[in-house]
Structure 1
Amino acid sequence: MRGLLVREIEGFLHRYPGMRCFLLFLTFCCTSIAARPNVIFIISDDQGYPDLGCIGTKPVLTPNLDKLAAEGVRGASFYVTWPACTPSRGSVLTGRYPQRNGLYDMVRNDLVNYGYVYNAEEYATSPEMTLGLDPKEVTLGDMLKKAGYATGCVGKWDMGQAKRYLPLQRGFDFFYGHGNNGIDYYTHERYGVPSLFRGNVRTEEDKGSYVTDIFRREALYFVNENLGQKPFFLYLAFNAPHAASSFSEGTVAGKKRSGGPGVQVPEKYAALYQDKVKDEKLARYYGGVTCMDEAIGALMDTVEKAGQKDNTIFIFMSDNGGSGNGGNAPLNGSKSTMWEGGLRVPFIARWPGKLPAGKVTDEFITALELVPTLLAATETPAPEGVTLDGFNMLPILRGEASSPRKDMFWQRRSDKAARVGNWKWLESAKGKGLYDLSTDIGEKTDLSKEKPEVLKMMQDQFAAWRKTMDETEPRGPFRDY
């Protein structure tokens, strides 16, 4: 039968010789598409710089992330663009500073801090529903979808909940997750408001189920639907190990709320740490990380069993520094601060055969590099007319080149910071100073008085960066134009 089919095809090509070139071209295209790598990009929420088992300074159990690091590259000097959720995640998907893409502050309802529960009409016109990433911005989902990738977003979106802001309108084919901040892990509400979406529609179909398990299920569904069919890009954004945005039992309407449930986790995960740490909240924080790690391991196993391990890029990072995690030593500070503990985060990249295994790099790299790097890895052209603030860091991760990044700048309202070379300067409500990170990663010795010329240089560089940001094409939601 096979011989007959071959003779039939040969006879067809003999009668229509022009088709031979077309079929060769079609074969080339199919081969090229099949060879393009899958991308699984995982981002955790409020996971601190030292909070990986492979670092060895804490009792946290992360065997699957440790395996990713052992089979890939771990960055020890990797920075985000903002010390809290929304602007950091906006930069991850646009490759642009928050001050350039317009999402340079949080999208939040402040009255919940005083125990206020919004009714449906109030919520519809509140900041959480009306603000988001400017629709003019091009996301990594847009870029890879245009290049022929299946694109999926699972988990925390945090860049707007109105329809125009949601993932299906921002380059993603598939979305199951929440548009706002750290929801309750079981009710899936943020301060009383149901927050999960399937596509563009709010859903309570999974109410009562632990949300990390739900995101694991949906991520596996998307991957299994596309493995071997077409290259895919999965953006898996956990809300773990962020504390739940729920009112505590003692909340009184109109009064400043205090405390809250912290990180919620099934008891079996917290039990892993109850003999290792005295603080129950810390045990639950670690348990939340371990549960997330298991979900990541399920994805790794699925890709490997499908024979796609070598053709799949795994990226892992946290969106900002740790909070409620027992500290970020040897770094100073935590989430929401301009100290290293708020800005320097864990980072892992694995691409077997394309990146070395077991390498730790101390090269200066940032979240701004992610979009250009993934465009290069997937052979996808950068969007025309869009200024990206990073570069392809594959040569740096391979150890073939030094990082071309010489500086990085941050601003959160009146809080400012800059890193130029190994110098770090910050001026904020929680502290200020000039530090030499090559000898003082913990930012303990302020050299402002000893090095006034360096201090001025840092301030001048920051002012020049700020001027550049102000001169760019304006983007909402916060900029006045």
Structure 2
Amino acid sequence: MLRALLQRNWGLIPCGLLVFLIFGFSQGMAAEGKQPNVILLLTDDQGYGDVGFHGNAQIRTPHMDELARQGMELTRFYCSPVCAPTRASLMTGRYYYRSGVVHTSRGGAKMYGEETTLAELLQGAGYATGIFGKWHLGDNYPMRPQDQGFAESLVHRSGGIGQAPDKPNSYFDPWLWKNGQREQGKGYCTDLFFDAALEFMDRQAQAGKPFFVYLPTNAPHTPLEIADSYWKPYQEQGLDETTARVYGMVENLDENLGRLMAHLDQTKLKENTILIFLGDNGPQQKRYTAGLRGRKSWVYEGGIRVPFVATWPGHIPAGTQSAQIAAHIDLLPTLLDMTGTPKPKSLKLDGIDLTGLLTGKVKTLPERKLFFQVHRGLTPQRYQNCAVVTQRYKLVGYPGTFGEENLMRDAEPVLELYDLTSDPGEMKNLISTQPDIAAGLRKDYERWFADVKQSRNFQPGLIVINSGKENPTTLCRYQDGTFMQGTSEGWMVQVETPGRYEVEIQRGADTKPGKLTVNWQGKRSHEFLSADQASARFELQSGTGMLDIWFQEEGADRVYPGDNSTRGDVILKRLD
């Protein structure tokens, strides 16, 4: 977190004074005076082909198309091929492996609380900060949005509405978390997130305060829930129901973007607002991809190349494009520059500032390489589902192995090489005809992998049990448990507030008496529960390590729940 970063650099000076000293002068203002507002709209599983301005004649996205006419499109903008890794890179300007995020669930989507986020930096520069939608970087202290720089939040938990621990739930009248408190919304989730964002913007504008609005929608991610009026017309055009539902969800998104754009016009905020729209990865299902190969979870272009448009009237020229390669890691340094927010000297970033490119002052970026890799499991393996992208070439390693936790190794890794300038569809593998280029990119990848491993050794972020910050604490087994070979071994936690806790477990289908067991810091203790009981009291000492809690029916072996359900989830409530 920003506070920790500042204190590491300037010792005993109070953090509040440091923020004033750093951000309180002219450095905290944009170059031309008034700090611009920032809106970052990130959609979920909307691929490169899921917009009209990329040649999709079936989908209706008039407002996204208009946005592209009003600003600059980066036609080769890249993200990670799945959700949480992209979000970690957007928030930190760093490759996600450095942040504690390893993949999307089963213990792998927890960003360390001490990571410095874009929200924290802009908040320190005087911005009002709000998130409305999908966070997916940790549901517990110190990883929640409110711990990471967002003064206001309306989010769902986990990776999606209806996933553990928020079961049952729906895109209609969803249960959401507003500033840490659970409440039920009335309406469709995307509409609710935009409603809250617009209301937040109005409040800040009336107070004369610049705002940072992060709008990471969960649409069009599964489950594909949308009103019939949106998807039925696509089905009537001959599209299959899955594609029709996705396109209906995107059309609803487009309508909300239109509402946002009209609101900026009506409130006269448009001229001083940076609006960025992008997707987080490729499409989950098979559909139009504008000729790109692959989709979500793949490191082919269809999995990592996403729509990207940026607008800022008077600064970003309208109706322009650039084919320079850029990525999620670049947004933090770019927005810091555009808002006049200084970067702490010790903050190490992987991204670069794109301001010159977006404003048209430069046409070509320095030669660079971008790196991508994702997989299931908490132990990254070299070359697994990886890619190195340059302005011309791309090296791909073990494509399509996202879900393989025990990748079999050959004497030499399976590698492919493509010339993206002449072959954007990645149809012609040049690995045998361009061995020198492949060898150079392979060395670059190996250096990168060793470097990101050195950051945290691929260890996911820690849940901190601190009753002053979060009480009770919900431990979701599927999302946050430490999974090894498909089995949850418990949760990696740090207990900061020792004492007596009420431990409640979701028993699921267990209907017989049995015992509730807590294994912590080398000490195993248990309490017997009757058929209708689900909780008991235990003492938890301070410490860091694996906290394992389970219920075992009398006379039965222990069951290790591994599915996306709430069975085995635990609620810890400190009583002292």
TM-score bucket of the superposed structures, by smaller chain: 0.7 to 0.9
Larger RCO: 1 or 2 (CA < 8 Å, sep 6+): 1
CA distance 1:26–1:101, shift in 2 (3 Å): closer
- Which residue in the other structure is 2:82 paired with? 84
Structure 2 CA distance for aligned equivalents of residues 191 and 441 of structure 1 = 42
Q: Residue type of the partner of 2:427? A: K
Does residue 227 (structure 1) correspond to residue 205 (structure 2)? The answer is: yes
Corresponding residue SS for 1:424:
strand
CA displacement at 1:102 relative to structure 2:
2.2
Query: 434, 443, 449: which is aligned to 2:417?
Result: 434
Query: 326, 329, 350: which is aligned to 1:368?
Result: 329
Does residue 333 (structure 1) correspond to residue 294 (structure 2)? The answer is: yes
Structure 1 CA distance for aligned equivalents of residues 30 and 305 of structure 2 = 40
- Which residue in the other structure is 1:410 paired with? 372
> Contact 1:159/1:179 (CA < 8 Å) preserved in 2?
no
Q: TM-score, normalised by structure 1?
A: 0.80
> Contact 1:107/1:160 (CA < 8 Å) preserved in 2?
no
Query: 260, 263, 268: which is aligned to 1:307?
Result: 268
Does residue 57 (structure 1) correspond to residue 71 (structure 2)? The answer is: no
CA displacement at 1:42 relative to structure 2:
0.3
Does residue 206 (structure 1) correspond to residue 185 (structure 2)? The answer is: yes
CA displacement at 1:337 relative to structure 2:
0.6
- % of aligned pairs identical? 35
Q: Residue type of the partner of 1:298? A: R
1:223-257 per-residue CA deviation (whole Å, 9 max, x = no partner) reads 1111242100000010011111xxxxxxxxxxxxx
CA distance 1:405–1:317, shift in 2 (3 Å): farther
CA displacement at 1:192 relative to structure 2:
6.1
- Which residue in the other structure is 2:443 paired with? 460
Q: Residue type of the partner of 2:234? A: Y
CA distance 1:473–1:274, shift in 2 (3 Å): closer
Q: How does 1:179-258 map to 2 (within 5 A)?
A: 179-184=157-162, 189-190=166-167, 196-203=176-183, 205-206=184-185, 209-228=187-206, 229-244=208-223
> Contact 2:386/2:399 (CA < 8 Å) preserved in 1?
no
> Contact 1:134/1:475 (CA < 8 Å) preserved in 2?
no
Q: Residue type of the partner of 1:198? A: K
CA displacement at 1:55 relative to structure 2:
2.0
Structure 2 CA distance for aligned equivalents of residues 161 and 26 of structure 1 = 35
Structure 1 CA distance for aligned equivalents of residues 64 and 305 of structure 2 = 18
Corresponding residue SS for 1:163:
coil
CA distance 1:92–1:26, shift in 2 (3 Å): closer
- Which residue in the other structure is 1:249 paired with? none
- Which residue in the other structure is 1:259 paired with? none
Corresponding residue SS for 2:97:
helix
Corresponding residue SS for 1:177:
strand
Structure 2 CA distance for aligned equivalents of residues 357 and 138 of structure 1 = 32
Structure 2 CA distance for aligned equivalents of residues 159 and 72 of structure 1 = 30
Does residue 95 (structure 1) correspond to residue 93 (structure 2)? The answer is: yes
1:400-436 per-residue CA deviation (whole Å, 9 max, x = no partner) reads 3212252011122422211133111111252841100
CA displacement at 1:361 relative to structure 2:
1.1
Q: Residue type of the partner of 2:59? A: V
Structure 2 CA distance for aligned equivalents of residues 190 and 466 of structure 1 = 37
CA displacement at 1:61 relative to structure 2:
1.0
Root mean square deviation, CA, Å: 2.8
Q: Residue type of the partner of 2:180? A: N
- Which residue in the other structure is 2:117 paired with? 139
Corresponding residue SS for 2:113:
coil
CA distance 1:195–1:455, shift in 2 (3 Å): farther
Corresponding residue SS for 2:370:
strand
Query: 392, 416, 420: which is aligned to 2:390?
Result: 420
Q: Structure 2 stretches of 5 or more lacking a match?
A: 1-23, 375-379, 402-414, 463-491, 493-544, 546-576
Structure 1 CA distance for aligned equivalents of residues 124 and 27 of structure 2 = 19
CA distance 1:218–1:300, shift in 2 (3 Å): same
Q: Residue type of the partner of 2:368? A: K
Q: Residue type of the partner of 1:320? A: N
Higher helix share: 1
> Contact 1:271/1:283 (CA < 8 Å) preserved in 2?
yes
> Contact 2:133/2:193 (CA < 8 Å) preserved in 1?
yes
Corresponding residue SS for 1:165:
coil
> Contact 2:88/2:96 (CA < 8 Å) preserved in 1?
yes
Structure 2 CA distance for aligned equivalents of residues 163 and 358 of structure 1 = 43
Q: TM-score, normalised by structure 2?
A: 0.68
Q: How does 1:3-14 map to 2 (within 5 A)?
A: none
CA distance 1:291–1:34, shift in 2 (3 Å): farther
